[in-house]
Amino acid sequence: MRKVILVCCIIVLLIPVSVQAQDESPWSEVFDETGAVRPDVNDLGVTTDNPDWMSIDLPFGQSLDLEANYHTYHTANGSTVVMPSATTLFFMAMNPTESGLSDSLGMMSNGNGSMISFLGSVAGSNIDWNAVSSDHPEYSNPDQFWNAVLTGQQDVWTYFSGWNFITLLTSVSWDDAALRTALLLYQADDPNCAVLPNGCPVQVVVTPEPVETSPRCPDPKVTVQPLTANIQKTGPANPLVIGQDPDKKRGADISVSVSVPPVIFTWYEPIYKEKEDCGYNANGVYVCKIKRVFKECRKHVENLPDPVASLQATASLDSASRAWITGQLGQTHYGAYIHKPTLSLVPGLAGWNGGCSGGGSCSASAHINRAPFADPGTFNLSLQGMTSGTSFMGARISDPRPIQATSSFQVYVTLPALIP
Amino acid sequence: MKEVPISKRSIVIIFLLVAVLAGGVFTLQRLIPTSTSGLVTPSPNDQMASAAATKAVEAFFTVDYQVGMDSWLNRLCDLTTDSGCQFISIGASPMWDRYLEEKTIVMAEASALQKVADKQSEQVWQVNVSLSAALPGSNKLLDTTYVVVSKTDTGWLFDRFLLQPEINALLVKQGKASQYGRNF
């Protein structure tokens, strides 16, 4: 992919590169005579650095040390080609000497042309051109102004008329056309290699070595908070068996609710820092070894939702009430019998609704209105269910949990009696 | 009706006095800085912009090493533009390394001192900051900063701290502005 980006650069600037190749341009170690990238150019990927010229001074002696990012390529002759990120390139342009920009061989074949295009693209609309032409009538066009900025002859800060474009540079991608033309070449024999974006060009680059220190992060921790479940009669206060209540077939209302707090999963991520160790080897070759050094354990706390997966609610006449109907009541009211001792409330008479909030808390509820209780006595209400369990990034964190709740209520009957 | 005789000389003197008086008032208006500018009630727009600046500055300098950089960034990024959040994110690690090393716990209070630039959707505010304790590498408890706030769809948000060359340029512009009566 990275080579594809580089090839795109070549296509964009094919003609000038070919001309340069004929003149034995230094770029000939990057591109062949057809303008294609040479097969011996090595893609080193993206490297980062915290250079002083990208440090923003803040009050109280603090500083925001912006990270410089470079997509780096290495030629067989030991030269380095870098494609900085937009933010990096902007700060390089604002600090051409300190950043080593003025020591590079420029952008491809057209000197500062691509850098001027880049600056015009990202900052051109934030320059007070009226003030520029008023103070500096010697600049007949913006390119001359930018060229003076890049050579350190012109202060640009006085003429910025907007500010937030600098932070917006962070959203410019590597594939942006303005960036793709901004390749910088630093040759191996550059005497000022210390100021170059990645330090001195290297003859041999050793692939990252194994981690210097093994991570010492704590084990992950799972905290399962108890869930709450409830099933109860909500009305009327004293339900009668259906048929006897003034409002025919009123029955009773039952309410079900479940609340499941999030499962808290705490885990630690080992963070590594790349450390460059450079020096000359026994053969006199400058060698850089990149080591990944353990830096810290970054703590992450995840609130994982454990949604309700199933719910069933039933009502059942207790055995004492059954015995009373067929025994005591049957003696005084001939033919008394048990009509419907069990009722399936959920899902029989109503369905349930559930869901989870963004914070990981889940809930479920059901409301059974006018459930037709036909027998007098004590009904036991029972709620049974399961949660789904939790997972994180495809790994199971906690198992499904049972949901249970019980309660009871009375259903009344009015009995006629003959008074002598 | 009684006639009051006024000589031609007196009329000329009166005209001269009026002219000198008018000229004096005009000159004073030009020379003396507008001392009432600080008494003008800020517009609602300015109030929201300055509130965005002070809240974000307070969040930036309020540090508790125990909560860590991620929580600090999350709290801060609620008060910043998306790009401002990204900008801080790519530069905060070295600063937080020091906070963790020094076990830094600091509370900050900020107050907007003045608006120093206004471009409709962007403003620059000078903000005073006071700390409950010194930050690593400094013994100061009071300082001043310049911040950019941007008007977004969700209101005014902090964008970034001004760079030192920008501050210098603004101060130069301000000097010219007060000298020539220009408005920035």
Question: Tens digits of per-residue pLDDT, A321-332?
Answer: 999 998 888 888
Chain-chain contact of A158 with B169 (C-beta, under 8 angstroms): yes
State the DSSP code for A269.
E
Q: Within its chain, how far is the Cα of A72 from the centroid?
A: 27
Q: What angle do CA B111, B117, B123 make, to 5 degrees?
A: 65
| Residue A371 vs residue A295, higher pLDDT | A371
Chain-chain contact of B91 with A64 (C-beta, under 8 angstroms): yes
Chain-chain contact of A62 with B137 (C-beta, under 8 angstroms): yes
- pLDDT score at A361: 93
Residue A131 touches chain B, beta carbons under 8 Å? no
Contacts of A298 in chain B (CB under 8 A): 68, 70
Chain-chain contact of A62 with B168 (C-beta, under 8 angstroms): no
Nearest Cα of chain B lies from the Cα of A95 at a distance, in angstroms, of 11
Mutate to test the interface with A, among B104, B116, B148, B163 (most CBs of A within 10 A): B163
Nearest to B172 among A63, A158, A166 (CB): A158
Nearest to B86 among A170, A298, A299 (CB): A170
Nearest Cα of chain B lies from the Cα of A258 at a distance, in angstroms, of 31
Query: How many C-beta atoms lie closer than 10 Å to residue A241's C-beta?
Result: 20
* A286-304 vs A204-209, strand pairing mode: parallel
Q: Which residues pair with B117 in a beta bridge?
A: B124
Chain A residue whose CA is closest to B98: A62
Chain-chain contact of B95 with A65 (C-beta, under 8 angstroms): yes
Q: Alpha-carbon distance A31 to A75, whole Å?
A: 10
User: Rounded to a whole number, what is the largest CA-CA distance in chain A?
Assistant: 132
Q: Report pLDDT digits (tens) over A293-328.
A: 777 777 888 889 999 999 999 999 999 999 999 888
Task: Judge whether residue A197 has pLDDT over 80.
Answer: no
Residue A63 touches chain B, beta carbons under 8 Å? yes
- Read off the pTM: 0.52
**Section A135-159 average pLDDT:** 83
Q: What angle do CA B77, B79, B81 make, to 5 degrees?
A: 70
How many residue pairs bridge chain A and chain B with CB atoms within 8 Å of each other?
105
Task: Judge whether residue B32 has pLDDT over 80.
Answer: no
Nearest to B87 among A59, A157, A167 (CB): A167
Residue B124 touches chain A, beta carbons under 8 Å? yes
Q: Report pLDDT digits (tens) over A2-42.
A: 444 444 443 333 333 333 334 466 677 777 776 666 777 77
**Section B6-24 average pLDDT:** 79
Contacts of B129 in chain A (CB under 8 A): 59-60
Q: Which of A199, A214, A185, A215 is nearest to A276 (CA)?
A: A199
Residue A337 touches chain B, beta carbons under 8 Å? no
